[in-house]
Amino acid sequence: MNDQVELVKSKIDIVEIIGERVILKKAGRHFKGLCPFHSEKSPSFIVSAERQSFKCFGCQESGDVLTFMQKYDGYSFLEALEVLAKRVGVTLESYRPTSQDSYKKKLLEIMSLSTEYYHYLLTKHQSGEEARQYLKSRGINSDAISQFYLGYAPNQWRSVSDFLINKKKYAPEELESVGLVIRKDVNSFYDRFRGRVMFPLKDHKGVVVGFSGRTLIKDDKEAKYINSPETMLYSKSRMLYGLWENREQIRKADSIVLVEGELDVIPSWQVGVKNVAAIKGSAFTNEQAQLMTRFTKNVVMSLDSDSAGQEAIKRAVVIAENLDMSIRVVQITGGKDPGDVATANPRAWREMVGKAVLYWDFLIDSALTRNDPKTGEGARAISSEVIPALSQIANSVMRAHYVSDLAKKLKVPEESIYSEIERTNKRKELNILKQTVSSIEKGKVSRREELEEYMLAISLQFFDQIKQNIPKIEIKWIEAPAVSKILDKLIMFDQKVSFKIQEFSKTLPSELQPILDETYLLDLSRVEDPGKEWERVLFEIQGMYVRAELKKLAVEIAEAEKKGEVTEELQARFVDLSKSLNSPK
């Protein structure tokens, strides 16, 4: 099977696969883009067509095309392999799924069967009558029940668990693994969801990975919503309720209306605002933002009007700016949340969404509403809230527009706004510098190690241009063991043979592959003269080696003098090393 895996990988262009999901631009011999696995403004995500691998130099995620699809698309190894094999026309003749593959498949079967079970009870069984009446009272119609495949969990200690264990022969431990049951002790368990309307939670592939259950009773002691716990299948930070069901409407509108919960999504969908999804609470995450960018970069935020909702909008803007997303805000009136407004006044809801304003306009107007700009204290409060946000605007023209707007409303010179923005940025830079210094002090990185890896990167990426210089390296100068071993291989490389990175990598043991990838994928697109740059770095590395040796010799000489021993040889070595500091080899 390993042969087939390699066959599939050899037929796939990793740049093409990743390029369908991430915007990549040519950067020297590689391709570069914004990392899909963390927020960043400057691209540090590198993809190599020659090495058929990727690496982010920001968050350190790396691997091959299969690794990428597992991380980005949420596939198992087998699922990713099957997708790619089908794409390149390779028939997988034999493959024994790993125990993890088989286990995950079984868990997904359980989630699918429980979804069907809950939906049947809601739509066709007499036990679902109370839930049907509840949904009717909330204005939820049959079309919505079908579109979102709603269900009902009876108010019984064991319902879905009896169905899955007694009739479908699954084990209680498997139900526990997907969060359907809660274990009391070794031999006792009960259903997690009881007496609740069930909302299946689908991932971006349309697979049910969890549930959210809404209680039918008004009881302060009873949680209004219960969600599946974090499992092998379900991660709240990666979930956007309704994204799968409404994905085509989102693509068509080229925007996504973001709300908080399931009963905000469904009423909005019913009244015609169908490009809607929920973040399930107010904790907007980078993973959710990355999911959205697959469909659109235009976000219309309509979170609850309470303080938690407003703070969530501010956090979302920080993430969105890094992903070059546009954020607009719906100013809700006539109700606390979108679901109430859409149910009570559908036309008003549609108009509110249509009149959503850019976040920066919303922020300035909101701050002016809560503070008096005519007083010094009010002006200070407004500037303290708005200016840090304005400093995040990457586009200088847009920033100038909002600086001018704020200056007029506060009746102050624009220069004073720019001055405060500069102070804000300097504070940010100082904090970053402190973190960098702290990392160096803790030994996380050293200048010498950094230079050695940089020289290896130049040596690998521009080998054909500088191969005549490679023998100038003396391995004793190199402190990092992995770097020295690879450079030693390069020194011995037959210069008459064409250098191909994939062939060269086969001569190295597995433990050296990560550093080979890291240095080969390092972005060197700004290096104009590889030979000259290589010589400069080599001289600096030699100097670091010499200084380290001089320190050792100084200690040896001092110790020898204390003992009254002859130190001519040591002194001669000291002088020779000192001279080499000013003359490259």
Instruction: Note the pLDDT tens digit of each residue in 309-323.
Output: 667 777 787 787 777
CATH 3.90.980.10 fits 98-234, yes or no: yes
Q: What is the mean pLDDT of residues 550-558?
A: 77
Neighbours of 127 (CB within 10 A): 14
Vertex 478: Cα angle to 477 and 480 (nearest 5): 155
Query: What is the average pLDDT score of the chain?
Result: 87
CA 529 to chain centre: 35
pLDDT the model gives residue 64 = 92
> Which span out of 15-24, 193-202, 448-457, 463-472 was modeled with the highest average pLDDT?
193-202
- Quote the CATH superfamily of domain 2-88: Zinc finger, CHC2-typedomain (3.90.580.10)
Across residues 197-201, what is the average pLDDT? 97
Average pLDDT over residues 282-306: 83
Domain 361-441, CATH number (from 1.20.50.20, 3.10.20.740, 2.40.50.140, 2.60.120.650): 1.20.50.20
Look at residue 334 in the predicted model and tell me its pLDDT. 83
* Whether residue 143 has pLDDT greater than 60: yes
Q: Identify the weakest region by mean pLDDT among 71-75, 176-180, 233-237, 575-579.
A: 575-579
- Spans of all domains in the chain: 2-88, 98-234, 361-441, 447-580
The confidence score (pLDDT) of residue 40 equals 77
Indicate whether 111 pLDDT > 70: yes
CB 257 within 8 A of CB 273: yes
Strand 225-227 relative to strand 208-215, pairing: antiparallel
* Best-predicted range by mean pLDDT (189-198, 355-364, 522-531): 189-198
195 contacts 154 by C-beta, under 8 angstroms = yes
Residue 240 clears pLDDT 90, i.e. is over it: yes
Q: Is residue 301's pLDDT more than 80?
A: yes
Percentage of the chain exceeding pLDDT 90: 43
Which DSSP string corresponds to 252-314? HHT-EEEESSHHHHHHHHHTT--SEEE-SSS---HHHHHHHHTT-SEEEE---SSHHHHHHHH
pTM for the predicted model, two decimal places: 0.71
Closest CA to 135 of 315, 331, 266, 287: 266
* pLDDT given at position 474: 86
Residue 188 backbone phi and psi in degrees, to 5: -135, 135
